[in-house]
Amino acid sequence: MTALVTSTERLQRLLALVPYVVSRKAVGLAETAAAFGVSERELVDDLNLLWCVELRSPDPYCPIDLSYEGGEIVVSQAESMGRPLRLAVDEASALLIALRTLGEVPGGQDRSALSRLIAKLEAAAGEAASASSQVAVQVELPGDAEKVEKYAAQVNAAQAAGRRLHLRYYVPGRDEATERDVDPMRLLMVEGRPYLEAWCLRAEGMRLFRLDRVLDLQVLDVAAAPPPEAQPVDIGQGLFRPSPDDLRVELELSVAGRWVAEYFPCESVSELDDGRLQVVLRTPDMGWVRRLALRLGEDGRVVSPPALVDQVREAASAALANYVA
């Protein structure tokens, strides 16, 4: 694989490679390639380039001497490159913000280790650390925070013991409590919401369960046995990826209903007059959109599909009849 790397990106890697080896005395090619996320061939190219560096003045000499015979890298002369370059502002900030975020999540990490690490990094980064204080992350668990923390601890315990879980789980689209067995993979906090990512035996697939929608959770006396295809989903691609089989729903939103476009991934969003929006959503769950339309009231109007338009009207008029009676 030939990734597009700029000269300066490669230079950063080269400047880190020498101290990486020096600090470990000697280290294997394969291990080093893995640590830098490059192939062994790319790594050997890097090593050759370092070895070939030549300065011509006053007399020609090669400041870096190294070998990788037998698959083991040894740097015998590193000149003044034995230590890595200090952290840049963005680097120090990214790491410090991430660490403080870890500390924000309730019921989470070893606080003492976190604060010791933060203090060490701040000291090592020096001035580069100060900008990070201009960014803050706050996390509050939604719903019943105590319950969510309790479930998180139970999931961790099940993971440690390699056990399967039984969930009673609320599905809002159908307004239904469902029962299912799952093999837990990881707990995530994404966009302010806590999720359990697990292999669901009922759906035979990876599923994300919102911890604040778990009605009950039990650790089973059964070993978790997720199949090989049970792999964590790439969250960076977005939490929900609509499938082409999903229902296509077109909504018109008033200014007060614009939040819909911020909360749910929309296939398309177009501006209408007066700050109104036209959005297209994909969902496998007609019940969910029906409830969304009732919630929106006059701030949202279903344009299509026609079946959904009818459902919303029927539900609204039946509900209003309850108030008259």
Token pair for 236: 């960076």
- Kindly state the helix (H) or strand (E) to which residue 154 belongs, with its residue range: helix 145-161
- Angle between helix 29-36 and 40-52 (nearest 10): 100
CA separation, residue 236 to residues 104, 190, 232, 233, 240 (Å): 21, 10, 11, 9, 11
By the rule CB under 8 A, 66 interacts with other proteins: no
- Cβ of residue 19: shortest distance to other proteins, in angstroms? 4
By the rule CB under 8 A, 76 interacts with other proteins: no
- Cβ of residue 65: shortest distance to other proteins, in angstroms? 12
- Cβ of residue 29: shortest distance to other proteins, in angstroms? 14
> Nearer to other proteins by C-beta: 1 or 221?
1
Burial class (CB in 10 A: 0-12, 13-18, 19+), 182: buried
By the rule CB under 8 A, 244 interacts with other proteins: no
Q: Under rule CB under 8 A, which residues in 105-134 are in contact with other proteins? A: 105-110, 112-114, 116-117, 120-121, 123-124, 126, 128, 131, 134
Q: What is the DSSP string of 18-31?
A: HHHHHTTSEEEHHH
Selected range binding other proteins among 17-25, 67-75, 199-207, 278-286, rule: CB under 8 A: 17-25
Q: Distance from CA of residue 180 to its chain's centroid?
A: 25
- Cβ of residue 245: shortest distance to other proteins, in angstroms? 25
Between CA 15 and CA 23 the distance in angstroms is: 13
Q: Could you give the string, one character per residue 153-182, with x where binding to other proteins holds by CB under 8 A and - elsewhere?
A: ---x--xx---------x-x--xxx-----
Q: Under rule CB under 8 A, which residues in 253-312 are in contact with other proteins? A: 255-256, 262, 274-275, 290-299, 312
Q: Which residue has the tokens 């300065």?
A: 55
3-class secondary structure, 112: helix
Largest CA distance in the chain: 101
Position among 26, 67, 79, 310 found at the interface with other proteins (CB under 8 A):
79
> Nearer to other proteins by C-beta: 30 or 203?
30
By the rule CB under 8 A, 34 interacts with other proteins: yes
By the rule CB under 8 A, 225 interacts with other proteins: no
By the rule CB under 8 A, 231 interacts with other proteins: yes
